[in-house]
């Protein structure tokens, strides 16, 4: 009797141990033991004097080493007219490059009516395009609707790759390729998913002084308040002397002078900005973002910007585009952009006003400085809130 009990106990022990080991392996406990230290050993194909090869490519020279990774999918709709310059030869100051799913027609309409509206400002040239792939299974009706949308709005950039979640890196890089090929003189490029709210007005303020945003605006507001008080006194004195009040014109002129004193970024600045993260790979197999050691052996990701919304200056976009040609493809677009930025020597700039979650909306004042926020997949909500914020002067 005793030996049988012992055998059962041993079997239960072995089974429990086996299950525990399997669970630990499933949730990545053993994988972490074999990870490499990012800070000491990180390198990502390809190695070599990448920036030298990039310089040669950008200046029309034959590079010493040929690119290893070119996103050369053909364009179905290339939208190459979008940034063509008019007789004034003015290049766009801001270009929205929106990653959209094929079937999200309503979201695109809502963005055109709100933050993607190209005529938002009469004195600032803004351009908006939506980047799409193609259906995994050929769908003639869906493609005909996309073609009709392109004919109506002329803002669809569609490329010949399968539009799927794990092809987001391809979608992002095709946006880069479109910008370099057909919109090469814009000053800033804002990449965003189609479920974001964005304030173009705040973005244009942000790019004047990104390091000190929004604090520098508060200082500007205080300077304007002081100016208004001085002008009020001047006007009162003028009235007492029988002179015509000049307060309104002085205020407008002085406000322009104060705003013009704000810092303007130089043309060669490499700005790559958004909500910046430093995190570790998911090693548990249940995760949607599971990554094996074979795919990525290091214990940390490089510093990266969440890919839902990020801003690039002209020079940063071009540099990262050409560096990507010497950077092995990776299926997570935000991680891939982090690797490319690291190889390009560009440090991502963090801003709390880029929200990777949905910023609580408590009225227009709560979005006074918001640059971008996730969570607007309801087109009606986006339009309603954008109109409220615009009426308050913050959109």
pLDDT, tens only, 337-360: 999 999 999 999 999 999 999 999
Output the pLDDT for position 5: 65
Phi/psi-derived region of residue 216, left when phi > 0, alpha when psi is between -120 and 50, beta in every other case:
alpha
User: What pLDDT, in 10s, does the model give residues 61-78?
Assistant: 999 999 999 999 999 999
Q: What is the DSSP letter of 120?
A: S
Tell me what the pLDDT averaged over the chain comes to: 87
Identify the bridge partners of residue 355 per DSSP, sorted by sequence position.
373
Output the pLDDT for position 258: 37
**pTM confidence score:** 0.85
Q: At what angle do helices 168-182 and 314-324 cross, to 10 degrees?
A: 120
- The answer to whether residue 166 scores a pLDDT higher than 90 is yes
CB 264 within 8 A of CB 285: no
Output the pLDDT for position 221: 63
User: What pLDDT, in 10s, does the model give residues 121-139?
Assistant: 999 999 999 999 999 999 9
Asked which of 92-106, 238-252, 294-308, 320-334 is least confident by mean pLDDT, the reply is: 238-252
CB 307 within 8 A of CB 168: yes
Residues 6+ apart with CB under 8 A from 257: none
CB 263 within 8 A of CB 248: no
Which class for 139: exposed (0-12), middle (13-18), buried (19 or more C-beta within 10 A)?
middle
Task: Report how far apart, in Å, the C-alpha atoms of 48 and of each of 37, 52, 339 are.
Answer: 21, 9, 15
Q: What is the mean pLDDT of residues 87-96?
A: 87
Q: What is the largest CA-CA distance in the chain?
A: 118
Asked which of 196-205, 222-231, 294-303, 307-316 is least confident by mean pLDDT, the reply is: 222-231
Tokens of 22: 């399997």
């Amino acid at each position: 009797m005793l030996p049988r009990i012992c055998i059962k106990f041993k079997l239960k022990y072995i089974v429990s141990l086996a299950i525990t080991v399997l669970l630990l392996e499933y949730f990545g406990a053993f994988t972490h033991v074999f990870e490499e230290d990012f800070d000491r050993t990180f390198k990502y194909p390809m190695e070599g004097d990448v920036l030298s090869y990039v310089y040669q490519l950008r200046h029309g020279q034959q590079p010493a080493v040929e690119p290893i990774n070119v996103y050369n999918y053909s364009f179905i709709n290339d939208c190459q007219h979008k940034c063509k310059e008019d007789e004034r030869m003015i290049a766009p100051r801001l270009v929205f490059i929106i990653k959209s799913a094929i079937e999200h027609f309503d979201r695109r309409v809502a963005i055109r009516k709100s933050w993607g509206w190209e005529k938002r400002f009469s004195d600032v040239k803004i351009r908006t395009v939506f980047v799409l792939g193609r259906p995994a299974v050929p769908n003639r009706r869906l493609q005909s609707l996309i073609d009709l949308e392109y004919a109506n709005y002329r803002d669809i950039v569609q490329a010949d790759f399968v539009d799927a979640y794990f092809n987001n890196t391809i979608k992002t890089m095709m946006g880069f390729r479109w910008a370099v090929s057909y919109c090469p003189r814009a000053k800033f490029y804002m990449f965003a998913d189609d479920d974001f709210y964005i304030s173009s007005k705040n973005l244009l303020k942000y790019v004047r002084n990104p390091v000190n945003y929004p604090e520098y605006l508060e200082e500007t507001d205080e300077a304007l308040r002081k100016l208004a008080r001085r002008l009020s006194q001047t006007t009162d004195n003028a009235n007492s002397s029988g002179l015509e009040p000049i307060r309104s014109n002085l205020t407008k002129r002085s406000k322009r002078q104060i705003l013009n004193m704000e810092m303007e970024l130089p043309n060669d600045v490499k700005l790559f900005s958004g909500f910046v993260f430093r995190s570790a790979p998911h090693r548990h197999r249940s995760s949607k973002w599971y990554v094996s050691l074979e795919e990525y052996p290091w214990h940390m990701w490089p510093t990266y910007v969440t890919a839902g919304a990020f801003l690039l200056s002209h020079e940063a976009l071009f540099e990262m585009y050409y560096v990507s040609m010497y950077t092995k493809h990776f299926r997570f677009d935000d991680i891939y952009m982090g690797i490319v930025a690291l190889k390009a020597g560009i440090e991502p700039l963090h801003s709390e006003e880029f929200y990777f979650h949905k910023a609580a909306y408590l009225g227009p004042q709560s979005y006074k400085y918001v640059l971008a926020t996730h969570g607007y997949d309801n087109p009606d909500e986006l339009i309603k809130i954008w109109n409220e914020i615009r009426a308050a002067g913050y959109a």
